[in-house]
Amino acid sequence: MIRKVAAVVVPGVAPFELGIAYEVFGIDRRATGGPTFDFTLCTPEPGMVPTKGGFPLGVAAGLEATADADVVVVVAYDVISGAGRVDVPPAYLQAVRDAHARGAWILSLCSGAFVLAAAGLLDGRRCTTHWMFSDRLAEAAPRADVDPDVLFVDDDRIITSAGTAAGIDAALHLVRVELGGEAARSIARRMVVPPQRDGGQAQYVVDPLPCEADSLSDLLAWMRENLAEPHTVATLARRAMLSERTFARRFRDETGTTPGAWLTRQRVARAQELLESTDAPVDEVARLVGFGNAAVMRHHFARRLGTSPVAYRRRFAAVAS
């Protein structure tokens, strides 16, 4: 259970990503049924901290705030300045190492992953950052598995997020894991954002080839409403009145992934909702979402969530209730 959250900022901090940390963890949402956290903003050298936007922040707390935090948020900062690379103090690197060693969650937002790379916490782990910085992160952490196509990665209590708004997805994921789906949905409703977005950051990479944005929106809505049906590229292409080749290309252009991967993610998400909110047997949930049987659903839960449907229900249904 997470209670105390410490967000660390350094000179060049990105105001938007800092706002994400505050919006998710810093607001008292008891009046609307949401969770409340003890949120502290801290910095290696308390005082006025210049931001990437050119205005300063007055930060009173030092790194001691991370010593007993359940979550340490490594806020994005300007990794490249006019004078070259922006480094962080050794004390900051040690603080995140110590926090992870004692079992705290580490949540890095966008370029915050470079702090984790410098601290050695990405070695042997899968991680991500903004697609513009992914090659640079791979150089900074050569022993890490940098995935530039996802919105966030959760690897052994270290969560790294892609660029900018992907920090919302990562933060809501952490809330879901610790407090359950209803807590995450409550925060998402207040923020007026989806509790879980589809696809990865590949859909946001600048592509010189034009595409008809949202031309498949009606089909995607229909697919969500008919997850239990068997779907193939051929049947979906016919429904979209496109050739299979054109359909597959357009689907990736507009969602950032393949029809099969998109359907699997939708089915897992719907299964999560049913496991949290109903007492339907696991086999029935698997049938309702299109996995066919519990064995297939277990495979996808293990691959995507690192758990089983039964374990997921035991954890999150109890929290939600």
* pLDDT single digits (tens) 165-177: 999 999 999 998 8
State both tokens at 249: 């290309």
Report the SS3 class of residue 78.
coil
For residues 267-281, average pLDDT:
90
In the chain, % of residues over pLDDT 70: 91
Residue 275 reports pLDDT greater than 80: yes
SS (H, E, C) 291-302: CCCHHHHHHHHH
* CA proximity to 46, closest of 59, 34, 57, 56: 59
Give the span between the Cα atoms of 101 and 121, in whole angstroms: 10
Q: What is the number of other CB atoms lying within 10 angstroms of the CB of residue 223?
A: 19
Q: What is the number of other CB atoms lying within 10 angstroms of the CB of residue 266?
A: 18
State both tokens at 172: 């809501």
Token pair 């601290």 in the structure block, residue? 119
- Across the chain, how many H-helices and E-strands are there? 13, 12
Give the span between the Cα atoms of 141 and 116, in whole angstroms: 9
Question: pLDDT at position 204, please?
Answer: 46
Q: Which residues are paired to 48 by β-bridges? A: 58
* pLDDT single digits (tens) 14-58: 999 999 999 999 999 888 878 999 999 999 999 999 999 999 999
| Beta strand segments in the chain, E | 4-8, 38-42, 47-50, 56-59, 71-74, 80-81, 84-85, 105-108, 126-127, 145-146, 152-155, 158-161
* CA proximity to 67, closest of 93, 96, 29: 96
Question: pLDDT at position 83, please?
Answer: 39
Q: Which CATH number fits domain 4-191: 3.50.50.60, 3.40.50.880, 3.40.50.300, 3.40.50.1470?
A: 3.40.50.880
Mean pLDDT taken over the chain: 88
Give the span between the Cα atoms of 221 and 240, in whole angstroms: 12
> Taking each helix axis from N to C terminus, what angle separates 294-305 and 309-320, rounded to the nearest 10 degrees?
70
Give the span between the Cα atoms of 86 and 208, in whole angstroms: 31
Question: pLDDT at position 202, please?
Answer: 47
Give the span between the Cα atoms of 99 and 238, in whole angstroms: 53
Assigned architecture for domain 212-321: Orthogonal Bundle (1.10)
Question: pLDDT at position 302, please?
Answer: 86
State both tokens at 238: 């016919």
For residues 85-89, average pLDDT:
73
Kindly list the domain boundaries of the chain, sorted by start residue.
4-191, 212-321
pLDDT-based confidence at 96, cuts 50/70/90? very high
Question: pLDDT at position 122, please?
Answer: 97
Question: pLDDT at position 87, please?
Answer: 75
**Could you say which DSSP state residue 77 is in?**
B
